């Protein structure tokens, strides 16, 4: 009786990649060389690259600190190493936070990755049986990961309504990064100057106007 519970029948997870890598590494070490041995060694290298891509490089604290200062308009704070990561940051709205995230997001060109069969033909390898199946599974997972990276949508760096129109499913609330008013001309287009429209008494200001003194 056969079942479909084997990991090969589902998505290739990070754990599964580690399992495939271990299988191919042992098979490569036990082989007597030749094209098959080299192919398995190459497959292990490809898997190592994909495993490494699962973990993104962390953003250095100082780089994040500088980005917060740039976006918020505040000063660059200097802290001792023992205090880094334990300090409060200035209030940042969703709009400004998106700009900080965009500073550390890089777009990658769409890679041209051959299929498994094309790769075998290029390498001149002819694996058989379970070795070929394991290699195909790992290679297809690597190829899908690389293609997905190249096709990921790139979010525009600018935050204004002109450069990044708000859609029905968008969670952003576009406000001016300087005064915080959604009706400020700068919120609509970054080329416009801020009018300071979040001052008390202005339209859509977060602060009420000061009460008028009655003149007797």
Q: Are residues 20 and 115 in the same domain?
A: yes
pLDDT number for residue 154 = 45
Tens digit of pLDDT for each residue in 12-38? 667 777 777 788 778 777 776 666 777
User: For residue 25, is it within any domain?
Assistant: yes
> How high is the pLDDT of residue 118?
81
Query: Looking at the 3D structure of the chain, how many domains does it have?
Result: 3
* Same domain, yes or no: 82 and 180: no
Q: Is residue 6 part of a domain?
A: no
The tokens for 89 are 């940051």
Contact between 69 and 39 under an 8 Å Cβ cutoff? The reply is no
| 93 domain-assigned | yes
Would you state the pLDDT for residue 116? 81
Judge whether residue 48 has pLDDT over 60: yes
Contact 197, 205 (CB under 8 A): yes
- Model confidence pLDDT, tens digit, residues 100-152: 666 655 554 555 677 888 877 777 777 777 777 777 777 777 777 766 655 54
Residue 198, burial from CB neighbour count under 10 angstroms (0-12, 13-18, 19+):
buried
pLDDT in tens, 155-202: 444 556 666 665 555 445 566 766 667 777 777 777 788 777 666 666
Contact between 93 and 72 under an 8 Å Cβ cutoff? The reply is: no
Residue 44: pLDDT band (50, 70, 90) is confident
**Structural domain includes residue 7:** no
* pLDDT value at residue 171: 47
113 and 202 within one domain: no
Looking at the domain assignment, is residue 178 inside a domain?
yes
N-to-C CA span, the chain: 98
Residues 16 and 119 in one domain: yes
Residue 72 in tokens? 């918020």
Whether 2 is in a domain gets the answer no
Residue-range definition of the domain harbouring residue 175? 158-208
Same domain, residue pair 180 and 203:
yes
Residue 43 pLDDT class (50, 70, 90 cuts): confident
Nearest to 134 by CA among 46, 41, 45, 40: 40
Question: Does residue 40 sit in the same domain as residue 129?
Answer: yes
């Amino acid at each position: 009786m056969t079942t479909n519970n084997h990991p090969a029948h589902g998505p290739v997870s990070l754990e599964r990649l580690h399992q495939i890598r271990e299988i191919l590494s042992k098979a490569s070490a036990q082989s007597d060389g030749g094209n098959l041995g080299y192919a398995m060694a190459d497959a292990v290298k490809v898997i190592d690259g994909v495993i490494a891509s699962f973990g993104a490089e962390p953003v250095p604290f100082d780089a994040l600190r500088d980005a917060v200062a740039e976006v918020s308009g505040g000063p660059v704070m200097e802290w001792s190493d023992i205090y880094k990561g334990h300090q409060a940051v200035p209030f940042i709205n969703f709009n400004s936070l998106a700009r900080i995230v965009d500073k550390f997001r890089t777009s990658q060109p769409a890679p041209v990755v051959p299929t498994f069969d094309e790769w075998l033909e290029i390498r001149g390898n002819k694996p058989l049986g379970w070795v070929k199946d394991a290699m195909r599974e790992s290679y297809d997972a690597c190829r899908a990961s690389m293609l997905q990276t190249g096709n990921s949508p790139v979010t525009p760096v600018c935050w204004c309504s002109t450069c990044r129109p708000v859609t029905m499913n968008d969670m952003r609330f576009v406000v001016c990064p300087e005064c915080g008013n959604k009706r400020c001309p700068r919120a609509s287009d970054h080329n416009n100057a801020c009018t300071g429209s979040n001052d008390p008494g202005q339209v859509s200001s977060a602060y009420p106007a000061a009460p008028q003194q009655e003149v007797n």
